[in-house]
């Protein structure tokens, strides 16, 4: 177990085995100006990313996506960007453009290359069936992004 985990409580093997999940945790802790999460375990920090189908049905998609959900989406894609950067050295920007109805675009780009380009719907309900699914989805996006960055390095560095 790393020092980080012994300080912040235990983490499940899912988190320990996923560089992506660890990066999300690092993103969130890094922005934790007021120390809210200081004594939380990694699992507890990641818990809001798990939203069961049942739970999704209960979340209203009326009105604005609430700021906490928006921050959660942002941290997810910033972690994708950070993992791509670690592999390729490309520094990227994350742009999340959600309409009041919870749909829109999520873009991660470096230079003139879009590493991630997704449309979203029902952003209010952003979440996954399990922590494993979060890790899987992140890994898929990272792999695709690294692929693109390696295929078109001259565009990524523009």
* Contacting residues toward a second copy, per CB under 8 A: 93, 95-97, 104-105, 107, 109, 111-115, 117, 148, 152, 154-155, 158
CB of 85 to a second copy, least distance (A): 17
Which residue's CB is nearer to a second copy, number 58 or number 154?
A: 154
C-alpha 39/C-alpha 35 separation (Å) is 8
Tell me whether residue 71 or residue 155 sits nearer to a second copy (CB atom): 155
Nearer to a second copy, 64 or 137 (CB): 64
d(CA 97, CA 99): 7
Which one, 9 or 91, has the nearer CB to a second copy? 91
Nearer to a second copy by Cβ, of 128 and 152: the residue is 152
Tokens of 38: 């200081």
Taking every pair of C-alpha atoms in the chain, what is the biggest distance, in angstroms?
46
- Tokens 């790393």 appear where? 2
User: Residue 51 Cβ, how far from a second copy at the closest point, in Å?
Assistant: 24
**What is the distance, to the nearest Å, from the Cα of residue 29 to the centroid of all Cα atoms in its chain?**
13
Contact (CB, 8 A) for 113 and 146: no
Residue 36 exposed, middle or buried by CB count within 10 Å (0-12, 13-18, 19+): exposed
Q: How far is the CB of 113 from a second copy (least distance, A)?
A: 6
Q: How far is the CB of 25 from a second copy (least distance, A)?
A: 25
- Min dist CB 33 to a second copy, Å, is 18
Q: How far apart are CA 125 and CA 48, in angstroms?
A: 11
């Amino acid at each position: 177990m790393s020092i980080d985990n012994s300080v912040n409580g235990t983490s499940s093997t899912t988190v320990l085995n996923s560089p992506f999940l660890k990066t999300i945790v690092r993103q969130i802790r890094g922005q934790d100006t007021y120390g809210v999460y200081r004594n939380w375990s990694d699992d507890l920090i990641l818990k809001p990313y798990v939203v069961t189908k049942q739970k999704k049905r209960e979340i209203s998609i009326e009105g604005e996506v609430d700021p906490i959900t928006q921050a959660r989406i942002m941290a997810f894609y910033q972690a994708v960007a950070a993992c791509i950067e670690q592999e390729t050295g490309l520094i990227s920007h994350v742009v999340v453009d959600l309409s009041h109805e919870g749909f829109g675009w999520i873009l991660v780009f470096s230079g003139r290359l879009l590493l991630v380009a997704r449309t979203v719907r029902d952003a209010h309900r952003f979440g996954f069936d399990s922590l494993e699914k979060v890790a899987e989805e992140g890994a898929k996006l990272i792999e695709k992004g690294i692929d693109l960055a390696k295929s078109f390095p001259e565009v990524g560095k523009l």
